[in-house]
Structure 1
Amino acid sequence: MPSFTRLFSGISNAVKQEPSHSLPTRPNDPYHTDTINKANPLAGLKLSIQIESPPLMLYGPPEHSSGAIFSGLVILDVFPDQIGQLQNEGIASSQSIQSTISLSTAVTSIRQNYAEVREVALSFIQIIDYGKPFIAGSTTIDSCGECRRKITELAHWDVLSRPTGFVKGSSHAFPFSHLVPGTLPATSVLSNSLTSIRYELVCKARFINKQGRPDHINIALPVMIRRSILRGQDRNSLRVFPPTEVTATAVIPNVAYPKSTFPVEIRMDNVCSPERRWRMRKLNWKLEEIIRVRANHCDNHQAKYATTVENTKRAHRGKKPHKNCGGPGKPVYNYYFEHPPRRQTTEENEDPSDVTAQNTSPTASPDLVPVASTWSVQAGSEGLAPQASQQSTPQMTPSLSTVASNDLQPRQTTTETPLYVEEIRVIKSGELKSGWKSDFSNKGRIEIVADISLMDLISMGLNVSLTNLSAINSLNCESPIFSLEPQSGVNCACDIEDHETGIFVHHNLVLEVIVAEELMHATNVQPIRSTPSSAYLSTITNAPTQTGTSSQNRPGATHHSTNAKHNDGGTGPDHVSGNRSDPLNHTTGIPTGVARVLRMQFRLVLTERSGLGVAWDDEVPPTYHTVGALSPPPYDDVNSMPSQPSLVIPLDSSDQLDQLDQVVLPEPARLH
């Protein structure tokens, strides 16, 4: 009976444990072994990686970025051996007697004082883990480790490619450098911790341990790559909401950062007519994150992948893709079966009309175009019913256009049909119920400055401990700071556009202004200034309804000569008196029960902070004259130096092994 109790308790504990998100080590993974980042007490040597370059920051969009310089040192420290030092002194004192010793005895004696290292390799790799929902809908592909992980080698260094003996107590360094391309995606976590993009610097060393057996050391240093789009001028956008005459002008910054707050200026004109007006009730905003990932598969499951793509295409045939999600915690998914077009950069001397024509071409991606729409809400209705929708022709960034180009299509090794899974979710939302200014004189104007708070957003670039990580060795590699798994606290990703890996991330800022219709009803409130109210009413009633009216049609233009400089189309307050005496500002509005939702959507670039904002190719390196005493030494002194015995002996040639009995072993250097 107690055995059954322990059995059920063990099963319950196993069920309560949280499932591990880490993938098992693949059998054909040449970079990660079972002893990754684990200390080896029998090694007799220490392998270290030191990064000398600053944190990797890619400035500008992928098509303009010059990359970043990545450099450092691979250091091999061989521990001293007291017994080997005593034998070394004995061999050095009786060198003449050792001339008759056989070759095998000499080799054994040398290897007692040298550490044999057979191979040292350094690789800079990119690791992309695929998880739900960005995997093909197949249990076979979901359970395959090769389909859920894609490893790409970006750079490789053969530090040591043949067996070599290193004297015990010595230290050896190997410098490496690499220009990281500016087209690489930044280190990110997509949607959840199961899908991520990360980079590692992996070093593997094969040697003979203290017991005389082949052994190896495998260490991996996480490398953080960030991208920053430099802050530029704010962008202005004009939206029209038919069938009404209301127009909205929005001013938003060109970039936004996680853990920040930025203002959005909104001005709505033509909100008032002689008979009715629109009064603002509330402003809702949300930041949507759109992630599109190309499903991955291994070579063994290529046929299964093709079958899954056909089944998915058949299941979603005839369905319209979602443009927006349902709200916080309600993501929606779309499926695409063709490669997205690349964005082509327009030249500075190009005609702006050509850019507009490109933006309105049928090849433009509809989900990247900002739209404006009006939604009607009747009195007593529970939901929102769409009444009219119109896509605005100009984009927020007219210098970039989404057009297809034959020579810029991504290089594909096969002609199979791709499967792109797109997720649209809300990462931040809020609302404002006060804080705007309304003026119902002339054609009326409503102004508001909304503060969009992104303080709850956390990206991988905010991980300071991982960003400043610059050294690792085979003794402290078991520290939790070198954990290779992505953090689960990340809840957003910065903008990514990578056609090679098929990963795209962008963000949309959606603004919804709720306005209610009111009928005008005059009251007995007298104006502040002694101006005949009938003159005001007659002037406004007889004013033309078109937008482009002159400043002479405005009441008060004859009273102030400076009003001729204030031509805003007959809307808004007077720049001197503020239209406080306008009778329309002292009328009572009777709600009619009709409301509208004025919806605006803008493309917002989410990026990391730039720091100093200077790329490596814009820096000015110092000259030898400015360095002074720290300048490199002259090379003429190298030939005059006395010859020193070598600390490194190759062990892969028999001709070199014949001369081992003539080698004078130097005194091992001390490790600092």
Structure 2
Amino acid sequence: MPGRLLSSLVRAAPSSTPIEGVKSQNPPLFPPHYSFEPPANPKAKSQESLVMDAFKRHSIGSRHHSDKKSPKAEPQKAATMNMQVESPPILFYNSPQVSSGALFSGQLKLDVKEPHLTVESFDMRLLAIVITKKPVAPHCSECSTKISEIHKWEFLKAPVSLRYGEHTFPFSHLLPGHLPATTHGVLASLDYYLDAVATTSTGEKLTYKRNLDVKRAIFPGSDKHSIRIFPPTNLTASVVLPPVVHPIGDFPLEMRLSGIVLNKADSQTRWRLRKLNWRIEEIQKFVSPACSKHASKVGGEGKGILHEDVHVIGSDEVKTGWKTDFEQGNIDVEFRAACDMALKPLCDMESPNGMEVKHNLVVEMVVAEEWAPLKKLNQATPTGAARVLRTQFHLIVTERAGMGISWDEEQPPVYEDVPASPPTYVDDYDGALNDDAETLNL
């Protein structure tokens, strides 16, 4: 009885053999990043996972796990890596043609957990990863992902034995100003990553990856003045726009519509503003390149497919606020426009690989025609004619520059920069003494 009771209480452990129809799930190569808000589409991948998949496909310091083996606890690594960035956030000032770049510096820390560790090689690369959302071949990783190396640091040129503790390796680099900013668009995305790899004498590879957020800020200048003519009417719009706008915050716009009155012998024909709408359009372009295997689909190597996407990132209707002066023949309008942050607007950028982001401000006005006798101008009668006046202006959307300045302007002047001093009068003074001596001798 005791044996039977014990056998009834102790049950067999569930078998690890997978059930038919149910797939075993192994831990991914890189753990997912959890957010507070669940994604709308559970199958859609985040930008971080896409970049990590690019690292995995190109075997940049990654290790492959077997799908047949059950997950096991990984042993403690011989060393761990971390990074301390000493420079400010990477921000390019002004356009790519005149930007002097940005300094990036820091210290890469290698924390050795063993008494002695021999490191055969230790280097770090700065990579630019471009992921195409619409590749030439949908299931080809070479067509969808392109990795370019911008700079490489070699910390060790020969094997070095390191003791227990933390060891620092300083690094610095001047990022050129023509590089495009980090962009996550609808058609493609551009990211910058640091990839550090240290190889020990036992063949173990220690890796460290870090994302770099590169931004660009264009300094504001004087306001832009534009004039638009709407034939066959005599209407003319004069618009004053700010030189640059920002994704966060609104900006003012002033517009004067002139030529609204046409006087005849005994009557007057005039236009009255009935409605005004504005919207900000974001235009994204990208040329999807083809790898060597699928180059025949686009007509040869070095070619691609141009994709374009236009969507609205801000719009509104101005119902009131304009002033109509029929004596002067003008309509003055002032309103404020802004980008909708919920639509995730991007900043302007242009890359040699065909990636481009631009913005336009579109203004639409509805004007109605009226007729009135010159003796009774207050008794205006609508004629039933109306027109839609549509115009657009190029907007430069950029990050805020703040109080920062570029690296080449913040350093103090050196000896060569000191201007020449005023001319001396030593020669003239000596000549005056000689003249006095001659006078005394006389």
TM-score, normalised to structure 1's length? 0.51
Going from structure 1 to structure 2, the CA distance change for 1:148 and 1:418 (only over 3 Å counts) comes to closer
The letter for the 2-side match of 1:498 is: S
Q: Deviations over 1:328-378 (max 9, x none)?
A: xxxxxxxxxxxxxxxxxxxxxxxxxxxxxxxxxxxxxxxxxxxxxxxxxxx
* Match status 1:520 vs 2:372: yes
Distance 1:34 1:597 in 2: 62
Of residues 35, 44, 47 in structure 2, which corresponds to 1:19? 44
The letter for the 1-side match of 2:82 is: S
Tell me which residue corresponds to 1:403.
none
Going from structure 1 to structure 2, the CA distance change for 1:189 and 1:588 (only over 3 Å counts) comes to farther
The letter for the 2-side match of 1:19 is: A
Note if contact 1:190-1:492 (Cα within 8 Å) is conserved in structure 2: no
Tell me which residue corresponds to 1:157.
153
* Match status 1:436 vs 2:438: no
Distance 1:300 1:163 in 2: 40
Distance 1:305 1:51 in 2: 43
Q: Deviations over 1:145-204 (max 9, x none)?
A: 1211111110001112443221223x3221111111111110111126xx2111111111
Note if contact 1:521-1:590 (Cα within 8 Å) is conserved in structure 2: no
Could you say which structure has the higher strand fraction? 2
Going from structure 1 to structure 2, the CA distance change for 1:26 and 1:235 (only over 3 Å counts) comes to closer
Of residues 173, 179, 182 in structure 1, which corresponds to 2:174? 179
The letter for the 2-side match of 1:114 is: H
Describe the SS at the equivalent of 2:296: helix
Of residues 333, 338, 341 in structure 2, which corresponds to 1:448? 333
* Match status 1:596 vs 2:391: no
Describe the SS at the equivalent of 1:617: helix
Note if contact 1:191-1:492 (Cα within 8 Å) is conserved in structure 2: no
Percent of residue pairs bearing the same amino acid type:
37
Note if contact 1:116-1:163 (Cα within 8 Å) is conserved in structure 2: yes
The letter for the 2-side match of 1:215 is: E
The letter for the 1-side match of 2:335 is: A
Tell me which residue corresponds to 2:70.
none
Q: CA deviation at 1:217?
A: 2.0
* Match status 1:497 vs 2:344: no
Describe the SS at the equivalent of 1:263: strand
Q: Write the mapping of 1:47-446 to structure 2, written as runs, cut at 5 A.
A: 47-79=81-113, 113-132=115-134, 135-136=135-136, 141-169=137-165, 171-191=166-186, 195-207=188-200, 214-274=203-263, 275-306=268-299, 416-442=302-328, 444-446=329-331
Note if contact 2:122-2:155 (Cα within 8 Å) is conserved in structure 1: yes
Q: Deviations over 1:80-128 (max 9, x none)?
A: x5xxxxxxxxxxxxxxxxxxxxxxxxxxxxxxx4112222110111111
Q: Deviations over 1:212-246 (max 9, x none)?
A: x5322222111011001111111111111111111
Distance 2:228 2:75 in 1: 68
Q: CA deviation at 1:613?
A: 3.4
Q: CA deviation at 1:49?
A: 1.5
* Match status 1:620 vs 2:414: no
The letter for the 1-side match of 2:132 is: Y
Note if contact 1:288-1:507 (Cα within 8 Å) is conserved in structure 2: yes
Distance 1:199 1:41 in 2: 31
Going from structure 1 to structure 2, the CA distance change for 1:622 and 1:220 (only over 3 Å counts) comes to farther
Going from structure 1 to structure 2, the CA distance change for 1:495 and 1:69 (only over 3 Å counts) comes to same
Tell me which residue corresponds to 1:506.
358
Tell me which residue corresponds to 1:630.
none
Distance 1:438 1:63 in 2: 44
Q: CA deviation at 1:34?
A: 4.2
Note if contact 2:79-2:110 (Cα within 8 Å) is conserved in structure 1: yes
Distance 1:32 1:304 in 2: 32
Distance 1:294 1:17 in 2: 28
The letter for the 2-side match of 1:59 is: Y
Q: CA deviation at 1:256?
A: 0.4
Describe the SS at the equivalent of 2:408: helix
Going from structure 1 to structure 2, the CA distance change for 1:200 and 1:517 (only over 3 Å counts) comes to same
Point out where structure 1 has 5 or more consecutive residues left out of the alignment: 1-5, 11-15, 82-112, 308-413, 459-489, 523-536, 538-582, 624-672
Note if contact 2:289-2:304 (Cα within 8 Å) is conserved in structure 1: no
Distance 1:250 1:509 in 2: 12
Going from structure 1 to structure 2, the CA distance change for 1:144 and 1:68 (only over 3 Å counts) comes to same
Note if contact 1:35-1:218 (Cα within 8 Å) is conserved in structure 2: no
What is the total number of aligned residue pairs between the two structures?
A: 366
Distance 2:206 2:303 in 1: 42
Aligned Cα root-mean-square deviation (Å):
2.9
Describe the SS at the equivalent of 1:306: coil
Q: CA deviation at 1:30?
A: 4.5
Note if contact 1:40-1:217 (Cα within 8 Å) is conserved in structure 2: no
